[in-house]
């Protein structure tokens, strides 16, 4: 008998962020929930705040080095300064080949002991693990507050079941 494929359980929270400082603070707060083996996918247009959020994650995780966009190096590893997991920050924007190109980065080797954050990872890294956090950042257009963002956090899989993502807001 063949087992039926089921979609992982999803936990969803929607938050409004009003400034880059608030985006960094969201990252610092989110870092408190993260642990080794977590995969975080970031989706949003250029300038939406993906790297700003990741900078906050790095601060919250207590990692070494300035967290900047890894666009040209594809991936950067930030070791922990506080005996926590390293942060692996990946920019998959220029990787068009999906998982094959991502496999060249050996993320599956890094994943168990690191927190892996992948910008532009949608459609490219889902097969690495059933348990992942997908963060989608939308710019709110036509609003007087140009820095306002709507952030949707979706925790997929058993790892995120029971995690109160709404408490981040």
Compute the average pLDDT of residues 61-70.
85
Cβ neighbours around 48 below 10 Å, total? 19
pLDDT in tens, 102-133: 555 556 556 788 999 999 888 888 888 889 99
Question: Which residue in 85, 51, 81 sits closest to 68, CA to CA?
Answer: 51
**Sheet with 75-78, side-by-side order of all strands:** 10-17, 149-156, 132-139, 39-43, 115-119, 87-91, 75-78
Give the C-alpha separation, 127 to 116, whole Å: 14
Which stretch of 21-25, 61-65, 96-100, 163-167 has the lowest confidence by average pLDDT?
96-100
pTM: 0.85
Select the more confidently predicted residue: 41 or 107: 41
Residue 144 has pLDDT above 70, yes or no: no
Give the C-alpha separation, 23 to 164, whole Å: 18
């Amino acid at each position: 008998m063949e087992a039926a494929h089921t979609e992982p359980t999803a936990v969803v929270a929607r938050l409004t962020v009003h400034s880059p400082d608030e985006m960094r603070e969201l990252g610092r707060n989110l870092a408190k929930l993260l642990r080794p083996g977590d995969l975080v996918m970031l989706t949003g247009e250029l300038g939406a705040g993906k790297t700003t959020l990741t900078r906050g994650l790095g601060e919250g995780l207590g990692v070494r080095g300035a967290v900047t966009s890894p666009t040209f190096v594809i991936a950067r590893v930030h070791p922990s300064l506080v005996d926590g997991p390293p942060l692996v920050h990946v920019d998959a924007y220029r990787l068009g080949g999906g998982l094959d190109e991502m496999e060249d980065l050996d993320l599956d080797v890094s994943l168990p002991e690191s927190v892996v954050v992948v910008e532009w990872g949608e459609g490219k890294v889902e097969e690495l693990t059933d348990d992942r956090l997908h963060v989608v950042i939308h710019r709110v257009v036509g609003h007087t507050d140009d820095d306002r963002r709507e952030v949707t956090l979706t925790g997929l899989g058993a790892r995120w079941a029971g995690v109160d993502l709404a408490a981040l807001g």
